Amino acid sequence: MLKFSIIVPAFNEEKLLFQGLESLVNLDYGKKDYEVILVNNNSTDKTRDIALSFPFVKVLDEPKQGNVFALICGTKQACGEILVFTDADTVVPRDWLKNYEGAYEDPGVVCAGGGAIMFPRSLKVRAAEKTVNLIASKIKYFPGFNLSIRRKVYEKIGGFDPKVNFDQDFFLVLRAKKLGRSVLVKNNEVKTSSRRYKDYRAAVYIAKSLVNITSLFVFKKSIFFEFGNIR
């Protein structure tokens, strides 16, 4: 069995996808020990063509619209002991998997994640970045662009809940933490797009996320399904 399966959901990501996939196929890790799976979720641009230009990348198609459905599709086809998730607008460091490997040497660790550097930068983006990294370091909940989980734990908790599309990463970690420890992998930040925080829509996105997270934590139910696609 492969050590790692990297799963990337993608919807109309032609502008930023190439750099992200390039970083994934050039990781400082044995090619026989990991795989990259991109799940095309009904893209109408060149997303699928760009992904197919990378022979190492396995390209799947998920016709049911929704980030969570793309993630579920990818995990079903994954062969790795550790499932790792990132976004199509994200560039990872070369030692990304090596750092994750170190975290999982502890058998008590069920999931792990890292922080982020967001771009383009602005005061608003810096504040969002600081918040995301603070939550990761203090509470050990990680965003879907830098998140991993043991496959056996993922399967034991039932994987991603198809009813939770917004903050599905938070809900996955929330359930996984009942079976073990969640840890921050230090110095393993990814570079990801700050497009959600560039205009007035940022406040709406953050407010909806806070409501959703509170509901998931207290009632195990999602209030909002869609989080809005910003390109």
Q: What's the average model confidence in pLDDT over 77-96? A: 98
Spell out where the chain has E strands: 4-10, 34-40, 57-61, 82-85, 90-91, 109-113, 116-119, 147-150, 181-184, 190-193
Q: Domain residue spans in the chain?
A: 4-114+141-190
Average pLDDT, the chain: 94
Structure tokens at 191: 């570079």
Q: Tell me the chain's radius of gyration from C-alpha atoms.
A: 16
**How much is the pTM?**
0.95
The CATH code of the domain at 4-114+141-190 is 3.90.550.10
* Cα 133 from Cα 199, distance rounded (Å): 21
Is a pLDDT exceeding 80 seen at residue 202?
no
Q: Which of 192, 3, 19 is nearest to 98 (CA)?
A: 3
